[in-house]
Structure 1
Amino acid sequence: MDDPSYYAIIPASVRYDKQLVPNAKLLYSEISALCNAKGYCWASNEYFAQLYDVHKNTISIWINLLAQEGYIEVSISKDDGNARRIRLTAKMPTINENIDTYQSKQGYPITEKIDTSQRKAEDPINENLKHNIKLNITKNIKENNTKEKISFSFETGGFENISPQQIQVWSQAYPAIDIELTMRQAAQWLLSNPKKAKSNYRRFLTNWFARCQDRGPAKGVSNARKYRQNTQYQQHNPAAIEL
């Protein structure tokens, strides 16, 4: 993989979002840098894990946080061998390839393929550009906040208002687990513990996925076996997995 651009933009909405852990904000900046090359980020969790010296599962959690907050979109390209593509949900300004910046004076490397903005580093960003960025970010945040609320039916024993796109996002964020199987596991726990009903099932599920991801169950037969074992354990030890 090519070296990423050394220039990245973190909008204020990301910097001051209390729902994001600090390293998720750094990951956003890295994704935005890689997006400069092709318009999307194609880096794998393993690449980011080596870059930040953390486990791949941790990267999955950060990516899921960014997707949930509406800052990135994750998709799968079937034409490219089911490769993952991450795109920013707001257009961000880039940097002039002829720029004479503080970084270049200090000897920091600058990629030759930077394609971008109109000003030197010391000049203020055009007010219209700042306004457009703010509008785009606000629009994406509002759209994210108006997502249909996930609910759980104790009559049918299943979760409701979960789209295939949401399943896909979770599958990318938590690759070590089978999302649909794990959702059935979570549903079984709720049915066994009706007094533990939740007010926010989206958060309940992501917390559940994160815990299962940390345990790292394999897919297929072994995953089904773990599901049965975990279900039996949860029925006898409900307090041990309270989220």
Structure 2
Amino acid sequence: MFERLFSSIGIGSAKVNTVLYQGKIERGKEVHGEVHVYGGKVEQTISEIYIHVDTEFHKFDDEMTEFRDVTEPIIEIKITDPVVVKPHEEKIIPFSFTLPFYTPVTFRDQKVHIQTELDISYFSHPIETHDFDVVDPLIDNIISHLTERGFLHSTKSGLCRHKLPTETNPTHCLQAFQLSNSQGIQVEFVGNEKDIDIYVHEKNQVHHYSLKRDTNFEDQISLVTIAS
């Protein structure tokens, strides 16, 4: 009786751990993993298990917005119907989902978290969170191409800024990359989009280039003209 009462207020209740099969997750690809639920001292019914992918970003001093510290949900997935966990039982629940292109890549202080949430009762709501790496070969290729030519990141490069949601990016996160070279040429592009638009600022002019994900990178980047 007392154990059931303790369970109802979150003492000795079920615990959760999430395992991803991949060490690094590529945007646009399917993510596979398992949720491990460990039973507590009494039998419990878990009404729902949710997986959240979240990121965080902070207001820059020059931004006119009320948001200073934001945790932004990228995607939320319900992975199971109600499930009963017996005392000290381990249940393993596999899951999969596609990581959208509007997820920011992990770069410098820009982190991405996966959070698992068990809905057991009003008083018992275990949550488990950990970071994971998000990569994108197209972003890697662009950055490598620029850094090999002497471009360096600004202090804010790769960090998310606040924006209004759009049809292609329903989040408030805009991951902006900014690089420049010793000649004062600046290159900017938004990272968390499927296709990448590059803007080259030089001699009071702005040149725009669009890189398509389904087209050969070398053929496209050869058309990006940057004066030396």
Q: TM-score range by the shorter chain?
A: 0.3 to 0.5
Specify which structure has the higher proportion of strand. 2
Q: Is the radius of gyration larger for structure 1 or structure 2?
A: 2
Does 1 or 2 have the higher relative contact order (CA < 8 Å, sep 6+)?
A: 2
TM-score normalised by the chain length of structure 2: 0.36
Which has the larger share of helix? 1
